[in-house]
Chains A and B, each alone.
Chain A
Amino acid sequence: MTGQDPDMNTDSEQRIEANLKKVYEESMNEPMSDQLANLVAQLREKAQPGNGGAADG
């Protein structure tokens, strides 16, 4: 995250930004759909060394 937006200077703007960040974080942590969870699991597996990820070189 970067610092506070220099163009944001009023109390209402700061409150908006604080709530916006809460909404963002809440969305990040919502339960994941099964399909997306499966895809992420496949990616994690592929990312393991020796399974074809870019880290293998």
Chain B
Amino acid sequence: MAVQLMADISFEEGVVQLVPDLRAFGRSLTREHARADDLVQDTIVKALSNKDKFKEGTNLRAWLFTILRNTFYSGKRKQKWEVEDVDGVYTERLSVKPAQDGVMELSDFRKAFETLPSDQRESLMLVGAAGMSYDEAAEICGCAVGTVKSRVNRARARLADLLHMREDEPGLTDGATLAAMVSARTA
């Protein structure tokens, strides 16, 4: 959704229109619904207090996503919110059994997605779901375009492994096996 502020759309209305996107991006970072809403709330408060720094006619969505991301990582450093899945806790909860008809449960996909490191989650979500270009995602993440591409590719490959989405990999995997797979990959 492109929200460009024009004379007839206030800054506040633009922010309101983008709240669903902010919640989805926040959820992908925090992996928890309640924390995501707290993060969006903090983002909006910061955006309002820095309203004068937003340049009218530029991309409000990217600006807000950047604030949200910075707020997330700032909070992560202070509160040690996020613990990456180094010990396979998330993965141990994951038991993916691909249906015989090939239809995957969305909850299984979400669980697998949540085992990814935060840098891969954000890159994949921005490019794959939020409709951002690689350039926009790189600007939001504060890194090079090539870094975003690399993260997206690694995220896709890992999800394909975890969810048995490769054409030559049709079997079933329990949580223990998945944990071992992830452990081997992160070692």
Which residues does A use to contact B, with CB under 8 Å?
Answer: 1-2, 5, 7-8, 11-13, 15-17, 19-30, 32-33, 35-36, 39-40, 43-44, 46-47, 53-57
Contacts and interface: CB of A to CB of B under 8 A. Distances in A.
Contacts of B81: none
Interface string B146-187: 000100110010011001011100000000000000000000
Given A12-B165, A39-B44, A53-B13, A5 B127 contact: yes
| Complex A-B, nearest 7 residue pairs according to Cβ-Cβ distance, in ascending order | A53-B10, A1-B131, A24-B129, A12-B165, A28-B20, A47-B13, A27-B24
A7 to B, nearest CB: 7
B128 A43 contact: no
Interface of B: 1, 5, 7-13, 15-16, 19-21, 23-24, 27-28, 33-34, 36-38, 40-41, 44-45, 104, 106, 109-110, 113, 124-125, 127-133, 149, 152-153, 156, 159-160, 163, 165-167
A40 to B, nearest CB: 6
- Most central of A23, A33, A39 by chain B CB within 10 Å: A23
